[in-house]
């Protein structure tokens, strides 16, 4: 079984951690609950941090004459600068964070689709945007794993998020070692090769060149350049076709040993995956069984087969199907 470094994740405190919503509620979130054994969570409630009590009157984003504010309609209090200043300070002091799970639709924590009103009371909604804290997170940590709890019920979004935070956590542990050496980076690159290939071939190539140039550059420069490409690589989810290419590539290792029937079976599985009839894990399970059977030690450690703890794999979906962003 693979060992995983625990990702460090900031989470909206009202998700599982505290009864801090405006009405004193806490939101039950099965994923956050399940992740607690695998992730170091840093819960925060920005509204409580700026001094709004529990319970409290609701707040909203209001835009009038091109000026946007975070306002508490019942008191007409403008909370914009307090929230901006808290967000700046909080995010500035964060060290080595791998991701964020934020409450959707909140004028504070939401990262998209937060209602923007045209006035205080019964004013209509004139648009949607990020909440104030959510926007600051996107500005400061845009290339990290950032998701809203609602979107994480979608299987492919969740898979991308978990892959990202567990890979960032593994890299963070390498780069924070008091004495940097090239060998751990070479090993990291090697065991992530097929995962990275599925994500972004151009970034993978660039990362390979960075590792290969280690004799010409100071080691810190190598790690920094590598990290930059790692974030570029995870900017979007892998395409189905990229996953198929990687699976075919791995299957190619065994072409001499497999029977025609096995090859035919695998070709049919690939077709089913292409047509959304089976998940990627069906393909990787078959490949993994061949890796074990034919004792391929190089492939055995590839993170493509298990990019995050398998206890967190759950095929269930919100029903929205695959999404690509
Ligand atoms: S959404 Fe954010 S600000 Fe609102 S209660 Fe939850 S943690 Fe606090």
User: 245 and 222 share a domain?
Assistant: yes
Using CB distances shorter than 6 Å, the residues near ligand 1 are 12-14, 20-21, 45-47, 103, 106, 108-109
Q: What is the pLDDT of residues 152-191, one digit of tens each?
A: 999 889 999 999 999 999 999 999 999 999 999 999 999 9
Q: Ligand 1 centre and the CA of 49: distance in Å? A: 10
User: 206 and 278 share a domain?
Assistant: yes
User: 121 and 196 share a domain?
Assistant: no
| Nearest CA, atom 6, ligand 1 | 14
User: 104 and 216 share a domain?
Assistant: no
User: 141 and 201 share a domain?
Assistant: no
User: 170 and 284 share a domain?
Assistant: yes
Residues 107, 113: Cα–Cα separation, whole Å: 10
Strands 77-78, 114-117: pairing is unpaired
User: 30 and 15 share a domain?
Assistant: yes
Sheet holding 114-117, edge to edge: 77-78, 67-72, 60-64, 114-117, 125-129
User: For 68, phi and psi rounded to 5 degrees?
Assistant: -105, 135
Q: Ligand 1 centre and the CA of 306: distance in Å? A: 33
CA distances from 153 to 44, 149, 161, 249 (A): 21, 7, 11, 31
User: 49 and 104 share a domain?
Assistant: yes
User: 131 and 176 share a domain?
Assistant: no
For residue 129 the two structure tokens come to 């945007």
Query: Total structural domains in the chain?
Result: 2
Please state the rounded mean pLDDT for residues 129-152: 97
Q: What would the DSSP string read from start to end of 256-320? A: TTS-HHHHHHHHHHHHHHHTTSS-HHHHHHHHHHHHHHTT-HHHHT-TTS-SS-GGG------SS
Rg of the chain over CA atoms, in angstroms? 23
Sheet holding 8-12, edge to edge: 40-44, 8-12, 99-102, 145-148
To the nearest 10 degrees (0 to 180), the angle between helices 260-274 and 240-251 is 170
| Nearest CA, atom 8, ligand 1 | 45
Q: Ligand 1 centre and the CA of 22: distance in Å? A: 8
Give the model's pLDDT for residue 299: 97
Print the domain residue range for 268: 157-325
In a domain, 77, yes or no: yes
Q: What is the pLDDT of residues 59-80, one digit of tens each?
A: 999 999 999 999 999 999 999 9
- Domain end marker among 153, 178, 201: 153
Contacts of 227 (CB under 8 A, 6+ apart): 171, 175
Q: Which atom of ligand 1 is nearest to the CA of 48?
A: 8
Whether the per-residue pLDDT at 1 is higher than 70: the answer is no
In a domain, 1, yes or no: no
Give the model's pLDDT for residue 313: 85
In a domain, 320, yes or no: yes
Residues 91, 81: Cα–Cα separation, whole Å: 15
Q: Which atom of ligand 1 is nearest to the CA of 103?
A: 1
pLDDT band at 36 (very low <50, low <70, confident <90, very high): very high
In a domain, 2, yes or no: no
Q: Ligand 1 centre and the CA of 45: distance in Å? A: 5
Averaged pLDDT score across all residues of the chain = 94
Q: Which atom of ligand 1 is nearest to the CA of 27?
A: 6
Give the model's pLDDT for residue 221: 97
Q: What is the pLDDT of residues 199-253, one digit of tens each?
A: 999 999 999 999 999 999 999 999 999 999 999 999 999 999 999 999 999 999 9
């Amino acid at each position: 079984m693979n060992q995983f470094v625990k990702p460090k994740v900031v989470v909206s405190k009202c998700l599982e951690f505290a009864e801090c919503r405006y009405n004193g509620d806490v939101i039950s979130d099965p994923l956050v609950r399940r992740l607690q054994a695998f992730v170091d969570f840093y819960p925060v409630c920005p509204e409580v941090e700026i001094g709004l009590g529990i319970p409290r009157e609701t707040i909203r984003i209001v835009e009038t004459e091109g000026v946007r504010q975070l306002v508490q309609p019942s008191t007409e209090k403008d909370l914009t600068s307090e929230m901006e200043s808290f967000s700046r300070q909080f995010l500035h002091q964060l060290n080595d964070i791998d991701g964020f799970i934020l409450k959707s639709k909140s004028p504070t924590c939401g990262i998209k689709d937060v209602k923007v009103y045209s006035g205080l009371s019964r004013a209509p909604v004139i648009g949607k945007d990020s909440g104030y804290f959510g926007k600051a997170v996107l500005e400061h940590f845009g290339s990290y794993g950032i998701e809203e709890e609602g979107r994480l019920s979608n299987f492919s979004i969740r898979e991308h998020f978990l892959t990202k935070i567990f890979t960032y956590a593994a890299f963070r542990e390498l780069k924070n070692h008091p004495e940097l050496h090239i060998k751990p980076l070479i090993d990291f690159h090697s065991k992530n090769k097929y995962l990275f290939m599925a994500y972004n071939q151009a970034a993978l190539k660039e990362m390979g060149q960075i590792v290969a140039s280690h004799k010409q550059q100071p080691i810190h420069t190598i790690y920094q350049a590598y990290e930059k490409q790692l974030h570029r690589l995870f900017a979007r989810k892998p395409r189905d076709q990229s996953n198929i290419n990687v699976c075919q590539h791995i299957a190619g290792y065994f072409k001499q040993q497999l029977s025609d029937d096995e090859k035919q079976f695998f070709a049919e599985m690939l077709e089913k995956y292409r047509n959304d009839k089976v998940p990627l894990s069906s393909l990787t399970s078959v490949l993994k069984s061949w890796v074990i059977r034919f004792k391929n030690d190089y492939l055995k450690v590839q993170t493509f087969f298990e990019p995050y703890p398998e206890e967190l794999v759950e095929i269930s979906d919100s029903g929205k199907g695959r999404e690509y962003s």
